[in-house]
């Protein structure tokens, strides 16, 4: 078997990397100049959509870190009312260390509503999201492999439990390329604290570094070292850059055979422009008050996630291919009533606003919105210290994810969990099939979106799978 192109570890192939670097980052003019050169057979151009009819062109991925409880958000389990505090027996092979000691069924402390014409099940705390219930497609059949946060996060984000592989946002950019040369194609809006597993959750893995997710930090410098140290003026830096160019030009003349030099020189000009422009692009304070109110910006508890959702909309508008937002942590082992009870209102308005705003602007049709955590939660819990502390542990066998926008079967709930929410029983698919479905909605065929690495064609789903066509309109 002959690889169609080599792995990118070899220095002589680096040129391709920078062409991509520019593509994925910044600088339209210089980029076009470089791209007009013949890339040759070894070049990695965007693969392009495999399903040209797919509607979604962008994706906003709302990652609810920590594992939101399906039972307390979108998958009510009245049966647990009857079983409340009855002893729970678990006897499969997956008995974890935490299952030792007595465990009890725990009812949901929340009221539920039937929202929209479709009658979607929602915790009543989803006040705003209920308005757009008919835009959502709920899926209750997803299962994952891991009971621990970082490995489950890695699996949700990269398909590989152990990390080290490209994130889904990297794959989508590798497949579709970037629409905006002034911004990275894959932007991550993490919480102030990095999630468990850290930046490997948005890493490019074996794909070229240009497909790496760029985290925009919510406080301080949005990108590390985007600005020069205090006291360095633009004119001083421009002067430095000019002299650097003089030296580099001279050097390049002496090494005509070395093609990387030119690209590295260009990257300095591009970076200089980026540091001037990016802060403006990220500034949401200039948005109209009406819009800021819609998202709940500057009001608690919605300010933090409201800003992210508003920024996500702006980024998608600017052509950023994939934006991933983090909200957390939903890891409510105890006091789920208080914990989920305050987490839901913090994201409810911002998410509903995002959907409404995109719709208003005619962008919802080509934007896929995904809401999920790394796993669901158990119907049972060890009773720890009194009646008020009920929570739920990690559950890889049941969860709720939902999607909205580009091409999803809105107004439907697909799949089901058993009567206590312990395990998915209908429309059950491994998360790899869900990944394949996301790619398909974005026009990409997981089986064709491959990269040759370490002697094998690799893909997001690891080994292939089946799209869940029931989720697609």
Q: What residues between 180 and 239 interact with another protein by CB under 8 A?
A: 192-200, 203, 208-210, 212, 214, 217, 220-221, 223-233, 235-237, 239
> Looking only at residues 403 through 442 of this chain, which bind another protein when binding is defined by CB under 8 A?
none
State both tokens at 118. 């479709």
> Looking only at residues 347 through 386 of this chain, which bind another protein when binding is defined by CB under 8 A?
385-386
Taking the complex as a whole, how short is the minimal distance between the CB of residue 433 and another protein, in angstroms? 14
Q: Which is closer to another protein, CB of 113 or CB of 160? A: 160
Taking the complex as a whole, how short is the minimal distance between the CB of residue 125 and another protein, in angstroms? 12
Q: Give CA–CA dist 403/69, Å, rounded.
A: 17
Q: Which of 139, 83, 176 is nearest to 380 (CA)?
A: 83
Q: Which of 256, 280, 288, 362 binds another protein (CB under 8 A)?
A: 256
DSSP H or E stretch at residue 59: strand 58-65
> Looking only at residues 77 through 96 of this chain, which bind another protein when binding is defined by CB under 8 A?
93-96
- Give me the helices (H) in 124-167, please: 149-158
Q: Give CA–CA dist 375/244, Å, rounded.
A: 50
Q: Which is closer to another protein, CB of 17 or CB of 366? A: 17
Distance from chain centroid for Cα 232: 35
Q: What is the DSSP letter of 472?
A: B
> Looking only at residues 127 through 156 of this chain, which bind another protein when binding is defined by CB under 8 A?
147-151
Q: Is 341 in the site for another protein (CB under 8 A)?
A: yes
Q: E-assigned strands of 245-388?
A: 322-328, 367-372, 376-377, 380-381
Q: Which is closer to another protein, CB of 413 or CB of 450? A: 450
- Which residues, including other chains, have CB under 8 Å from residue 149's CB and lie 6 or more apart? 65, 66, 67, 195, 196, 197, 331, 374, 394
> Looking only at residues 28 through 57 of this chain, which bind another protein when binding is defined by CB under 8 A?
none
Taking the complex as a whole, how short is the minimal distance between the CB of residue 152 and another protein, in angstroms? 10
Around Cβ 463, how many Cβ atoms within 10 Å?
Answer: 8
Q: Which is closer to another protein, CB of 187 or CB of 358? A: 187
Q: Give CA–CA dist 319/401, Å, rounded.
A: 25
Taking the complex as a whole, how short is the minimal distance between the CB of residue 271 and another protein, in angstroms? 4
Q: Which of 32, 81, 240, 277 binds another protein (CB under 8 A)?
A: 240
Q: Which of 111, 253, 257, 469 binds another protein (CB under 8 A)?
A: 257
């Amino acid at each position: 078997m002959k690889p169609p192109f080599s792995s990118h570890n070899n220095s002589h192939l680096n040129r391709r990397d920078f062409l991509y670097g520019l593509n994925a980052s910044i600088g339209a003019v210089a980029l076009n100049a470089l791209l007009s050169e013949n890339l040759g057979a070894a070049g990695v151009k965007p693969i392009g959509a495999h399903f040209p009819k797919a509607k979604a062109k962008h994706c906003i991925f709302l990652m609810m870190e920590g594992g939101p409880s399906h039972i307390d958000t979108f998958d009510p389990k009245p049966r647990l009312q009857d079983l409340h505090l009855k002893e729970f027996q678990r006897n499969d092979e997956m008995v974890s260390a935490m299952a030792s000691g007595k465990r009890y069924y725990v009812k949901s402390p929340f009221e539920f509503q039937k929202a929209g014409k479709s009658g979607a099940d929602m915790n009543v705390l989803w006040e705003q999201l209920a308005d757009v219930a008919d835009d959502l497609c709920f899926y209750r059949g997803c299962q994952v492999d891991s009971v621990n946060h970082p490995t489950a996060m890695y699996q949700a984000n990269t398909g590989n439990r152990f990390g080290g592989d490209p994130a889904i946002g990297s794959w989508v950019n590798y497949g579709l390329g970037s629409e905006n040369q002034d911004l990275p194609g894959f932007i991550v809006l993490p919480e102030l604290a990095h999630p468990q597993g850290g930046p490997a959750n948005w890493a490019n893995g074996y794909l070229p570094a240009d497909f790496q997710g760029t985290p925009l930090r919510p406080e301080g410098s949005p990108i590390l070292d985007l600005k020069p140290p205090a006291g360095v003026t633009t004119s001083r830096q421009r002067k430095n850059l000019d002299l650097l160019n003089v030296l580099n030009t001279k050097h390049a003349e002496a090494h005509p055979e070395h093609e990387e030099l030119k690209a590295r020189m260009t990257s300095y000009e591009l970076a200089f422009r980026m540091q001037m422009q990016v802060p403006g692009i990220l500034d949401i304070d200039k948005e109209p008050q009406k819009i800021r109110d819609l998202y709940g910006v500057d009001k608690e508890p919605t300010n933090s996630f409201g800003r992210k959702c508003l920024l996500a909309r702006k980024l998608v508008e600017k052509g950023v291919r994939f934006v991933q937002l983090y909200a957390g942590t939903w890891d409510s082992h105890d006091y789920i009533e208080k914990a989920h009870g305050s987490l839901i209102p913090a994201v409810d308005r911002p998410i509903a606003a995002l959907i409404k705003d995109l719709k208003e602007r005619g962008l919802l049709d080509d934007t896929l919105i995904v809401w999920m955590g790394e796993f669901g939660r158990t119907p049972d819990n060890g009773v720890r210290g009194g009646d008020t502390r009920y929570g739920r542990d990690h559950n890889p066998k049941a969860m709720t994810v939902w999607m909205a926008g580009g091409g999803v079967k809105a107004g439907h709930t697909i799949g089901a969990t058993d009567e206590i929410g312990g395990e998915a029983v209908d429309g059950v698919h491994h998360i790899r099939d869900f990944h394949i479905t996301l790619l398909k909605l974005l026009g990409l065929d997981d089986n064709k979106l491959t990269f040759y690495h370490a002697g094998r064609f690799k893909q997001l789903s690891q080994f292939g799978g089946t799209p869940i066509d029931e989720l697609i309109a």
